[in-house]
Structures are given as structure tokens and as C-alpha cells.
A and B are shown apart, each in its own frame.
Chain A
Amino acid sequence: MRKTALFLCVILFTAACTDKFEKRQFYAMGTLVEITHKKDSSLKQVIRTINEYEEQVKSFEEKYNSAPAGSAFEISPLWEILFKKSYDYKAISKDRFDIRALSLTGLYGFPEGPYDLPSPERYAAATDAIKNMPLLFVDGKLVKEDERLRISTGAFSKGMIVDKAVEVMKQNGALSGIINAGGDLYAFGKKNKSRWRVGIRHPDDSNKVISTISISDKAVATSGDYERFFMKNGIRYNHIFDMVTMEPASLYRSVSVIADNCETADGLSTVFFLLPEADAAEACKRTGTPVLIYTHDDRVVKLCGWESFEN
């Protein structure tokens, strides 16, 4: 009898030791967001935070993008940060990354489609505007010089919003969890005393991974040519364009980056997607971020200590 009681106690005790997590999926930031969290936590405030920041980012982009030439705009503190970040990425990428890339990629139908090639005239006008019309700030206001200029922070704002959402989760008492916005994710704390296991998707097969890493309090983001792209005359046009060549970036199939926050991982995965291998290897040393590259000839290149996370 006593043994049975002890036995039950032991079972209950052990069962109570393992963390119970559940996944919640919803739409935000133009993608399916997945939050892994403790069963008893509320996500209401987290989701509201994501929606509010998304609205702040999107509303200014829409306002600027639809405005006629000569319009001037007040810059909110959030947008001041976003512009500053975009300049950082522009510098690291040696001008290949530019917040105004949408002026050109938008003509192809990115980000949402339907996709097609632009006319040579419209292509020339857009590349012209990007080359000759820098973002102009007059007395702290942004002035739109050319009607064809359009901006998008899509390459890094999703990561920034993930970071803000994680902050709210932690404020609400969460010690561990994952926020994954369509592949750009931050994993904090631990699951049953071990680090979170994250797989990097194979570009050609959504059921295969090319690397598995264990992380805690780290972000991972991936940029690739296999989700947002279209084929025309046998050429693959993916959504990331090189603003030096004014053509779709075609160096790699995918690039993943591990960083301390999701905004950095998100932005740098796009930046390294645009950089030749030698430049990427050098740049990731300076940023201190491990990088995984999947090449067109199916090589997996690991830079800046990626292997140390694979165990």
C-alpha cells in the first residue's frame, strides 16, 4: 500500500518536472507566425504588440510609397531607428542592400504577386531614381524627391517586431519560448533544461533540413530564393535584388544567420545573401554572427563558428 502511494508520488513528481509547451499559429507581418509557449500563458498582449508595430511600419511605408514627388514626412522615433538600421545594412553590404529596393522589385510584383517582368522604360526609370535620388532629409523631415521611389523595411523589420514581442512575453513572466515569424525566429530560455533545437530548411525540400542547431537566447533567420520567386524564360527572379547590379541576387540558394537578436539575424541574412563568399566571411567576423550558406552546387558552407551550434 505504502509502496503504491510512493510509486504514485514519484510518477506525479516526474511528470511535473517536464515543461509542457504548446504552439499557437496566427497571421501577421504577411506570414504565418508560430509562438511556442508554456500552456498556461496568455498571448493576447504579445499578438497585440505585433499588430501595433506592424501597423506603425506599414502605415508609414504606404504613406510614403503612394505620395507624389515633393511630399515631406515627419519621422517617428521608431522610423528613425529603422532608417538608421537600413544605412548600417547598406554599408555592410557595400551598397547592395537598399531600403528603396522596392522601387524596382515592386515593378516585378514583389512582395505579393502577381509577378511579371516590367517594361524596359519602367525598369530604367526605377533604377534611375534609386541611383540618382538619395533619401533626402531636410530639417529632420524626409522629402520624397521622385514619385517612383518606394521604401520597404521588409528585410529586417519583421525581426525587429519579433524582438519586441519577445520582450512582452518576458514581461508577462515567460522564462522560455520561441517566436517564429515565417522562419525568422528568436528562441529564449530552455526546454526541459536543454537548448531549443532548430532546423534550417533545405531549399528544395520542405521536409529536409540542411543543419540542426541548438540555441538559447539567440535568433536565427534565413533568406532564400525558394519562397518568393517566379520563373520567366528559364530565369529565376527571387524577391531579393542587388542594388548595385539592379538584378535579382543569384549567388546562393539560401543564407541563414545566428545573432543575439532577431532584427540583426533577419537583416544580415539578406545582406549576406547579397555578398560574395569572401566578403561574407569577412563581414560576419566583424558582426560576430555565425552564417550558413547553401550554394547552387549544393555545397553547405559554414562561416564564423556555425559548427559550434551544431550539436
Chain B
Amino acid sequence: MKIKAADIVVIALLFCSVFFIKNLFVPSGVPALILVTAKGEKELSFRDQLYDLKEETGHEMVVEVKDGKARIKESDCPNQICVLTGWVSSCGEAAVCIPNKVAVYVRCENDNTGLDAISR
């Protein structure tokens, strides 16, 4: 069987449509709420809830999830930077408590900033 010009056109069209179809299967920018502690990472549900981290971290810390946002509500660290950070909700936003090794951040599959890393 010989390849006709039409076949080439079809193949080219298929190639182009692949990218479109892939985007249908790969959800783009679905946010996940990630809690990082000294023990590792775990995903939190976006359901409204209070998480007491006393057992997990040995520190007086409370993480609150509400209306699709999260924050470190209470912490026994000296500077309260993580508490003052307030609510995090959009891709890449984070509340970080370095002394107690606790962070809450929003991770997105392919976050819409198009950046691979941030230097700060």
C-alpha cells in the first residue's frame, strides 16, 4: 500500500489534535492542599475542618480549612510568621512555619504561572 498525500495530511492533522486531546485527559491546574511536616507530605481535603497537629508534630499547632482556603490558625512558634501569613488558596501559595517544620501549601498539577521555581 502506498502512502497518499491525503494520508500525510491526515497524519499531520492527527499530530496537531493530539495536543488538544491530551489536554482533555490531563486535568490542568487542579489544586491540591498539601501539608508538609517533618514526617513528610500528605494531602488534606478541601472540606471545612480543623486539624490539630499536636500528635503529629509535638507542637501546639492548628490548621484550619474553610471555604476552599487553608491557614495555620495557631502555632507555638516565636515569630508567628505562619499565622500572620493568613489564608492560602491559589496555586503555589504557602504558609510556612520553619521552627516547627510545618507548611501548608496549594499545589497545582501544571500551575498557571508557567514557572518551574521561584527564587526569594
Partners in one complex: yes
0/1 string, A7-32, CB within 8 A of B gives 1? 10011001100000001111100111
With an 8 A cutoff between CB atoms, is A161 at the interface?
no
Please count how many residues in chain A sit with their CB below 8 Å of the partner chain's CB atoms. Answer: 46
Q: Which of A112, A178, A185, A200 is B78 in contact with, Cβ under 8 Å? A: A112
Alpha-carbon distance between A127 and B120 when the two chains are bound, in angstroms: 29
Asked if B10 and A3 make an inter-chain contact with CB atoms under 8 angstroms apart, the answer reads: yes
With an 8 A cutoff between CB atoms, is A267 at the interface?
no
Alpha-carbon distance between A71 and B22 when the two chains are bound, in angstroms: 65
Residue of B nearest to A111 (CB): B98
Interface bracket on B? 20 to 34
B10 contact set on A, CB distance < 8 A: 3
Alpha-carbon distance between A178 and B115 when the two chains are bound, in angstroms: 12
With an 8 A cutoff between CB atoms, is A261 at the interface?
no
Minimum CB–CB distance for A104 against chain B, Å: 20
B34 contact set on A, CB distance < 8 A: 25
Please judge, given known A-B contacts A10-B15, A25-B36, whether A197 and B93 are in contact too, CB under 8 Å: no
Residue of A nearest to B38 (CB): A27
Asked if B113 and A199 make an inter-chain contact with CB atoms under 8 angstroms apart, the answer reads: yes
Q: Which of B11, B36, B113, B116 is A36 in contact with, Cβ under 8 Å? A: B116
Alpha-carbon distance between A30 and B22 when the two chains are bound, in angstroms: 40
Alpha-carbon distance between A184 and B118 when the two chains are bound, in angstroms: 9
Alpha-carbon distance between A198 and B116 when the two chains are bound, in angstroms: 6
Q: Is the interface of B mostly helix, strand, loop or mixed?
A: mixed
With an 8 A cutoff between CB atoms, is A290 at the interface?
no
Asked if A7 and B14 make an inter-chain contact with CB atoms under 8 angstroms apart, the answer reads: yes
Asked if B78 and A32 make an inter-chain contact with CB atoms under 8 angstroms apart, the answer reads: no
Q: Tell me the chain A residues, 111-154 only, with Cβ under 8 Å from chain B.
A: 112-115
Q: Which of B18, B21, B107, B115 is A198 in contact with, Cβ under 8 Å? A: B115
Residue of B10, B11, B18, B101 with highest tally of chain A CB at under 10 A: B18
Please judge, given known A-B contacts A34-B117, A183-B118, whether A26 and B40 are in contact too, CB under 8 Å: yes
Residue of A nearest to B103 (CB): A32
Asked if B116 and A196 make an inter-chain contact with CB atoms under 8 angstroms apart, the answer reads: yes
0/1 string, A252-281, CB within 8 A of B gives 1? 000010000000000000000000000000
Please judge, given known A-B contacts A10-B18, A11-B18, A25-B41, whether A198 and B118 are in contact too, CB under 8 Å: yes
Please judge, given known A-B contacts A27-B38, A31-B98, A113-B78, whether A198 and B119 are in contact too, CB under 8 Å: yes
Asked if B120 and A206 make an inter-chain contact with CB atoms under 8 angstroms apart, the answer reads: yes
Instruction: Please give 20 more A-B residue pairs, beta carbons under 8 A apart, in addition to A14-B22, A27-B101, A114-B78.
Output: A3-B10, A14-B19, A15-B18, A25-B34, A26-B41, A32-B96, A184-B119, A187-B116, A187-B117, A196-B116, A196-B117, A197-B115, A197-B116, A198-B115, A200-B118, A200-B119, A201-B120, A206-B120, A220-B119, A227-B120
Q: Nearest 8 pairs between A and B by C-beta?
A: A183-B120, A201-B120, A114-B78, A113-B79, A113-B78, A199-B115, A27-B101, A220-B119
Please, could you name 12 A-B residue pairs with CB atoms under 8 Å apart, sorted by A?
A: A11-B18, A25-B34, A25-B105, A32-B36, A32-B103, A112-B78, A187-B116, A187-B117, A197-B114, A197-B116, A198-B118, A199-B113
